[in-house]
Amino acid sequence: MTTTTAQTPAARKLWGGRFTGKNDPLMEKFNASISFDSRFYKADIVGSQAYAKALALKQIITDDEASKLHDGLDKVLAEWESNKFVIQDGDEDIHTANERRLGEIIGTSISGKLHTGRSRNDQVATDFRIWVRDEGRKLVVVLKELIATAVVRAENEIDVIMPGYTHLQRAQPIRWSHLILAHAWSWHADCQRLEQLLDRLNQLPLGSGALAGNPFQIDRDFLAKELGFDRLMPNSLYGVSDRDFVAEFLFWASLTMVHISRFSEDLIIYSTGEFGFVQLADAYSTGSSLMPQKKNPDSLELLRGKSGRVFGGMTGFMMAYKGTPSTYNKDLQEDKEPVFDAYDTLMGSLQITTGVLSTLTIRPERMLASMSIDMLATDLAEYLVRKGVPFRETHHISGEAVRLAEERKCTMADLSLADFKALHPSFDEDVSQVWNFEQSIENRCTPGGTSRATVQAQIDSLKSFLQ
C-alpha cells in the first residue's frame, strides 16, 4: 500500500461540525494515526460491510443501499490490495480514509449513512480485535513449525549425549534431544497461551457506539456471527475502552521472545571455540570486518537483542494504559504501534529461529569429549542408596570420593575398590558399573527424564499436539 499524500483539498472531518477554527498543522500531524493504523484496512472494510448489512436488517437503509455500500467497499479493498489506494490530506485515520474513498466511488449521499449509530470508538476496537485475532493465527502456524523442527531434530539425534549444566558448570549427562525438547516445551506453552489469548479477545465491541450503546437496535448477535466473533462484549463502556487484549498480546510476545532469547543464548555458548558442540550454518552467521577467522552467531545475538525491544513496547503501553479513565481516551492511540512492532518482530524471529535450528550442525564427538567422570558423583551416591544407605549419608560419601580423586589427581573411576570400601563397607566390585554415561542417562527413566524412552515419549506427545 502507498503512504504518499495527494495534494487535494482536505476532506471534511468526521468530527468537524462543532469546530470553526483550523487545527495547528503540527497538531494535525500529531493527531493522525493513518501512518500506522492503515494496517487495519481489511478489518475496517469487513467490519463496515457487516455493519451495512445490520443497518439494512433494521431498515435504517435499504437493501439496495446496503448492496452499493458493500460493492463500493469491495472496490476500496481492491485498491488497498493492489497498492493503488492513495492517502490524501485529511485522512487522519483508516476509518476516515476508507469512508472518504467510499464516498468518492458511490457518492456521499449513500456512504454518509454507513456511520449511523456507529462511533470510531467501537469501530477501532472491533478492527483491532479482528486484526490481532487473524494475524495471531498466523503466529500460531509459525510457532508450530518451530516446534515441529525441534521434534524432527530430537527424534533424529536421540542417541547423542552431552553434558547437562547448572550454573554453567557440568552437572549430569543428558541427551542432546532432551535439551532441544526443553525449549520445544517452552514454545508449546507459548502456543497454548497465544491460542487462549485469541479465544479471550474474540468478543465483539461493535454496537457499543461511542460509549453508551447503539440507539437503532442493531442486531449485535448478527454482527458477531458475520465477523467471526464468539460472543458480545457485555458492557458498552467496557467495549470501547478495554485494551487488556493488547496488554496480553504484548506480554505473550515478550515472554515468547524471552524463550527465543534463552534458546539463542544456549546456542551462542555451545558454538564458541571453548565448547564447540554446535556450528551455525553460514546462512545465519557473519564474519568480522577485521579478523578473517571469525564466524559470528549474529542471528542468535539479534534474536537475543530483539527480546528487549518487544519488552520495551509492552512496558511503554502499560504506562499509557494505566492512566486512562473510563471509556475511550486518545491515549489509546498508543496501543497499536507496539502491537504491530511486536508482531513483525515475532513473525521474523520465529522464522529465523526455525531456520537456525533446522540447519544447525552438531558435533557429538565434542559433546562426548566434554563429559567427565565427576559428573557421575550423584550416580555414585545413588549406588549406595540402592544398597540401603540413606541419601544424606551417601551424598557425603560421594563427596569424599570426589575429594580423594582430586587429591590423587585422577578420576573416581581410577580409585580402587579398597579406596571405596574405606569410605563405606557397602561398596562392592559392581561399583565399577557406575562409570557409564549412557547408563546414568537411562537411569533417569521417570516421565520427563532424559532416558531414551522418556525422551521418545516427549517427542510422541509433541507430535500429537502438532497433529
* Residue 349 is a catalytic residue: no
Report the first-to-last Cα separation within the chain, whole angstroms: 36
Active site annotation includes 167: yes
Q: Distance from CA of residue 388 to its chain's centroid?
A: 49
CA gap 120, 114 in Å, rounded: 12
Q: List the grid coordinates of 415.
A: 580409585
CA 12 to the chain's CA centroid: 40
Query: Of the listed 167, 289, 416, 464, which one is catalytic?
Result: 167
Active-site residue identified among 33, 82, 109, 288? 288
Instruction: List CB contacts of 54: < 8 A, sequence separation 6 or more.
Output: 218, 219, 222, 223, 226
For residue 118, list its beta bridge partners.
none
* Under 8 Å between Cβ of 68 and 151: no
Closest CA to 377 of 356, 351, 406: 406
| Grid cell at residue 30 | 500529531
- Using an 8 Å Cβ cutoff, are 34 and 97 in contact? yes
What DSSP designation does 1 have?
A: -
What gap in Å lies between CA 291 and CA 330, rounded to an integer? 52
Residue written as grid cell 449513512? 113
CA-CA distances (angstroms) from residue 368 to 68, 172, 174, 274?
A: 72, 12, 11, 14
Half-sphere exposure of 388 (CA within 13 A, CB side): 2
Residue pair 341/252 in contact (Cβ under 8 Å)? The answer is: no
Q: Do 314 and 247 form a contact (C-beta atoms < 8 A)? A: yes
User: Nearest CA to 203 among 232, 223, 225?
Assistant: 232
Q: Report d(CA 456, CA 177) in Å as an integer.
A: 9
* Helices (H), ranges, 32-166: 34-37, 41-57, 63-81, 94-106, 108-111, 120-156
Instruction: Tell me whether residue 205 is exposed, middle or buried, using C-beta atoms within 10 angstroms of its C-beta: 0 to 12, 13 to 18, 19 or more.
Output: buried
Residues in the chain: 467
Report the distance separating Cα 40 and Cα 34, nearest Å: 10
What residues are annotated to the active site? 167, 288
